[in-house]
Amino acid sequence: MTAQFAEGDLVGILTTEPLGRVLDYRAPEGGCGLGDYVEVPLGPRRVLGVVWGPGEGGYDLAKVRPVTRVLEALPMRDEMRAFLARASEYTLTPLASMLRLSTRAPGLGEPPSTRRVYRLGSAEPSRATDARLRVLDVLRAYGGAAVTLAELSAEAGVTTSVVKGLVKSGAVLEEDAPRDLPYPPLDPEMQGARLAGDQIAAGDALVAAVAMGGYGTTLLKGVTGSGKTEVYLEAVAECLRQGRQALVLLPEIALTSEFLTRVEARFGARPAEWHSGITSTERRRLWRMVGEGGAQFVVGARSALFLPFRDLGLIVVDEEHDTSYKQEEVVFYNARDMAVLRASICGCQVVLASATPSLESWANADAGKYTRLDLGARFGVAEMPEMHAIDMRAEQLPSNRWISGTLARSVEARVARGEQSLLFLNRRGYAPVTICRACGHQIGCDDCDARMVEHRFLKRLVCHQCGATKPMPVACPSCKVEGKMAPVGPGVERMAEEVAERFPEARVAVLSSDLFGSARALKEQIGVIAAGGADIIIGTQIVAKGHNFPLLTLVGVIDADLGLQGSDLRAAERTFQLMRQVAGRAGRAEKRGVALLQSYQPEHPVIRAILGGDEEAFWRAEAAERRAAGVPPYGRMAGIILSSPDVAQVFDFGGELARRDGPLRRIGAQVFGPAPAPIARVRGRHRVRLLVKADKGAPLQAALAEWLAQLKPPNNLRLAVDIDPQSFL
Ligand code: ADP
Ligand code: ZN
């Protein structure tokens, strides 16, 4: 390392603390360099920081404290510093929060730890007992690789003292090896699937783009099962051949199990994983290894984008339209957009893969900013499932029943043939509303403006906003009459009851994120179902996300109208995507599938577009509407969310902001609100939002920064900026 700052020089340190600026320190003994990770004193504490540039000076230099120490980690690369700075500017998030996002690896400052390992030595054992010979056999079987003491003694079936005895005589070597080992190498030359049809041209185009190096974004569009994954794995192979690193982002942890096995089959080893489910030891290992080049291929959740890759050559955002790419807490960012930003800075290719792209990506491809590649037919399958609406106005349903006769007959036929059916309902729990039949009172959350959802499995009422739970009351909390509390409407748990009653012979599985203690348990259950472990699957939107159920030939959507309610700008787009994704679950193997959508408004344009299958026509119509309204992606928006325990305070502050809209008006932007947020109270805090609308080309961030700088929020009022808001909660 070449130290750019000698001992005692003034250096500017960006810390992970929310201070709003870079702080001055003095370079420590031995100096330090730009990008070095350091520990610095801050008040009575020591905090993590990065050398961000020369110090600013300009105040009492006698008070400047020295950097405590330079950490044993590779310095942050220029590319990463530029990325964090640009991401911070774009999202209007303090740089410190960005740094925190990129250093989420416990113990990254500690010296690389080691562990004791054992391998075969050259000397003969002093005495050749059976136990000793077994140990040597085990080590020979490892072919020179090192083993820990626990593993070795267990495998040889001996006590650890036997191994220690062999070490004394030199027959076994004892050494310290680094704990954070590189990930097993992947072999890009192994044979992948032989691409066919449209896949060939798409694969060639992506491979050529990766081989050329430099930035570019490609929208890879194809129905579920058309081979998008096979195609982008070819791009990954080329990236590995170039000696660069590849990152695949997936929306749900549940997706990775299948994906990891596929990668192993394709490249001979598993990729490294990054998500909330990995241990802190693995976190630290991966964080170090991506920096040192010991991890070639990472598959992860959105935050993997902030890992310190040494040389990133390809980022794939699979299911790019998925709303879980948008983080809406602490730092508000959309991983899809940040992927494009990072790639443009580090000279890397981006592949956005989806069967139902976001309108943003569709429009970027339409405008020629992204390359678009289309995969037509589904691999080995003739077409998308047959899709029909079931007109619920014509069905006679008893109360508290939701499966129409038409749908039930289709399910029965599948059960008889040994095929699977999926009943889709995007509602967790037993019933969305609990009402008192004596007085009409509905049970709400004490801290939020939300109704409590009954979860029979948990035997509790749960608030889906804040997670608060309470037992189901025997007496109505309002009129005190006992035994009159009744569930209203269906959730997946209630569907399970109806299904058990109607199809007593069938094996039923419910897939809902809250029914599983861990992502692992959920993955296991998905594996069991895919292998044929259930006849009828009842699921929320987690089933819409890319799992393969080869025996599934029928999808029944219980309430296709559900997503069309509400005033969300993206309601039509979301419903269209979700319904097509869910329908795409049917008939993935040899059998053609059928999708039946129960709807009370089958003539609604969105339902018609879903059934008609003319996707381009749907996107064009939706694009025209958004363009006319000047809303994203043809205009820009930012949400300002204010919250406080004090309702008057939050409205006053919001009103004051709205009045001082000079900086916004200067760029032609308009501010709407303050208005109570659709969920006006969460965890006891009153929420108010302002919405800013601007033309597409307007310098929105700069104007917002100037606007918000005019007023300092009172202490207990929180202010969050959401650039390009996705949801309006
Ligand atoms: P998508 O990502 O578009 O959903 P996949 O890449 O998962 O599609 O492909 C769907 C299934 O078809 C997978 O089981 C995949 O292995 C298989 N498949 C796709 N293309 C080919 C091919 N060219 N040769 C063999 N199998 C293929
Ligand atoms: Zn609540």
* DSSP characters over 399-457: TT----HHHHHHHHHHHHHT-EEEEE----SSBSEEEETTT--B-B-SSSSSBPEEETT
Q: Answer yes or no: are the C-beta atoms of 491 and 429 closer than 8 Å.
A: yes
pLDDT surpasses 80 at 547: no
pLDDT at 382 over 50: no
- Other Cβ atoms within 10 Å of 505 Cβ, number: 8
Atom of ligand 1 nearest to the CA of 230: 6
* Phi/psi at 484 (5° precision): -115, 5
> How many secondary structure helices (H) and strands (E) does the chain include?
20, 31
Closest CA to 632 of 352, 373, 344, 337: 337
Q: For residue 427, how far is the Cα from the chain centroid?
A: 20
pLDDT value at residue 513 = 72
- Ligand 1 atom closest to the CA of 546, numbered from 1: 4
Tens-digit pLDDT profile for residues 671-684: 988 888 777 788 88
Give nearest CA residue, ligand 1 atom 24.
193
Closest CA to 412 of 499, 539, 495: 499
- Could you identify the atom of ligand 1 that is nearest to the CA of residue 355? 3
Q: How confident is the model at residue 245 (pLDDT cuts 50, 70, 90)?
A: very high
Three-state SS string across 571-627, please? Answer: HHHHHHHHHHHHHCCCCCCCCCCEEEEEECCCCCHHHHHHHHCCHHHHHHHHHHHHH
Which is more confident, 573 or 96?
96
Q: How far is the CA of 684 from the centre of ligand 2 (A)?
A: 8
Q: Say how many CA atoms lie within 13 Å of 342 toward its Cβ.
A: 31
Q: Is 195 in the pocket of ligand 1 (CB under 6 A)?
A: yes
Q: What is the pLDDT of residues 315-370, one digit of tens each?
A: 999 999 988 898 888 889 999 999 999 999 999 999 999 988 999 999 999 999 99
**pLDDT at residue 566 greater than cutoff 70:** no
pLDDT at 53 over 80: yes
Are 588 and 381 in contact, with CB atoms under 8 Å apart? yes
pLDDT of residue 256: 63
The answer to whether 437 and 484 are in contact (CB under 8 A) is: yes
Q: What is the mean pLDDT of residues 389-396?
A: 93
| pLDDT surpasses 60 at 589 | no
H helices present in 48-124, as ranges? 78-91, 95-101
297 SS3 class? strand
What pLDDT sits at residue 254?
A: 47
Q: What is the pLDDT of residues 456-500, one digit of tens each?
A: 888 889 888 777 888 999 999 999 999 999 998 899 999 999 999
- Percent of the chain surpassing pLDDT 90: 51
* Cα 632 to Cα 330, 359, 635, 694, 697, distances in angstroms: 23, 9, 5, 10, 12
DSSP code string of 511-552: E-GGG-SSHHHHHHHHHHHHTT--SEEEE-GGGGSS---TTE
Nearest CA to ligand 1 atom 9: 227
What are residue 503's phi and psi, to 5 degrees?
-125, 70
Query: How far, CA to CA in Å, does 383 sit from each of 194, 589, 590?
Result: 20, 11, 11
Average pLDDT over residues 499-525: 83
Output the average pLDDT for the chain. Answer: 88
Closest CA to 22 of 61, 57, 46: 57
Say how many Å lie between the CA of residue 225 and the centre of ligand 1.
6
Ligand 1 mutation pick, 228, 263, 379, max ligand atoms within 8 A of CB: 379
Cα–ligand 2 centroid distance for 463 (angstroms)? 5
Cβ-based burial of 209 (10 A; exposed 0-12, middle 13-18, buried ≥19):
buried
Which residue has the least CA distance to atom 10 on ligand 1?
Answer: 225
Ligand 2 centre distance from Cα of residue 254 (Å) = 26
Cα 476 to Cα 436: distance, rounded to the nearest angstrom: 6
Question: Looking at the DSSP assignment, which residues form a beta bridge with residue 693?
Answer: 637, 670
- For residue 40, the model assigns a pLDDT of 95
What is the SS3 assignment for 300?
strand
State the Rg of the chain over Cα.
Answer: 29
Ligand 1 close to Cβ of residue 227 (< 6 A): yes
* Those residues with Cβ within 8 angstroms of residue 1's Cβ, 6 or more apart along the chain or in another chain: 33, 36, 75
What distance in angstroms lies between residue 234's CA and the mean position of ligand 1's atoms? Answer: 12
Residue 86 is predicted with a pLDDT of 96
Residues in Cβ contact with 156 at an 8 Å cutoff, skipping those fewer than 6 apart: 131, 134, 135, 137, 138, 162, 163
Q: Which of 117-121, 486-490, 665-669, 670-674 shows the highest mean pLDDT?
A: 665-669
Confidence of residue 386 (pLDDT cuts 50, 70, 90): confident
pLDDT at residue 517, as a whole number: 66
Tokens of 505: 């012979």
Percentage of the chain beyond pLDDT 70 is: 94
Nearest atom (ligand 1) to Cα of 224: 4
Long-range contact set of residues 512-516: C-beta below 8 Å, sequence gap at least 24: 512/428, 512/429, 512/539, 512/540, 512/542, 513/428, 513/540, 513/542, 514/428, 514/429, 514/455, 514/458, 514/462, 515/457
CA 193–ligand 1 middle distance (angstroms): 8
Instruction: Please tell me the distance from the alpha carbon of residue 274 to that of residue 534, in angstroms, as a whole number.
Output: 31
Q: Separation of 656 CA from ligand 1 center, angstroms?
A: 56
Residue 308 Cβ < 6 Å to ligand 1: no
Q: Is the pLDDT of residue 253 over 60?
A: no
Strands 420-424 and 536-539: parallel
Mean pLDDT on 217-225 = 90
Q: Which residue has the tokens 């043939």?
A: 417
Give the mean model confidence (pLDDT) for residues 550-565: 85
The CA distance from 637 to 722, in Å, is: 9
CB of 228 closer than 6 angstroms to any ligand 1 atom: yes
Ligand 1, residue 262: give the atom nearest the CA. 16
Of the pLDDT bands very low, low, confident and very high (cuts 50, 70, 90), residue 89 is very high
226 C-beta closer than 6 A to ligand 1: yes
pLDDT for position 3: 58
Is there an atom of ligand 1 within 6 Å of 229 CB?
yes
Question: Closest ligand 1 atom to the C-alpha of 222?
Answer: 3
| Atom 18 of ligand 1, residue of closest alpha carbon | 227
SS3 content of the chain, % helix, strand, coil (to 5): 35, 25, 40
Q: How far apart are CA 65 and CA 41, in angstroms?
A: 8
Ligand 1 atom closest to 195 (CA): 23
Q: Is 581 in the pocket of ligand 1 (CB under 6 A)?
A: no
Q: What pLDDT, on the 0 to 100 scale, is given for residue 350?
A: 98
pLDDT at 223 over 50: yes
- The answer to whether the beta carbons of residues 339 and 298 sit under 8 Å apart is no
The Å distance, Cα 462 to ligand 2 centre, comes to 8
Q: Which two tokens stand for residue 361?
A: 């990506």
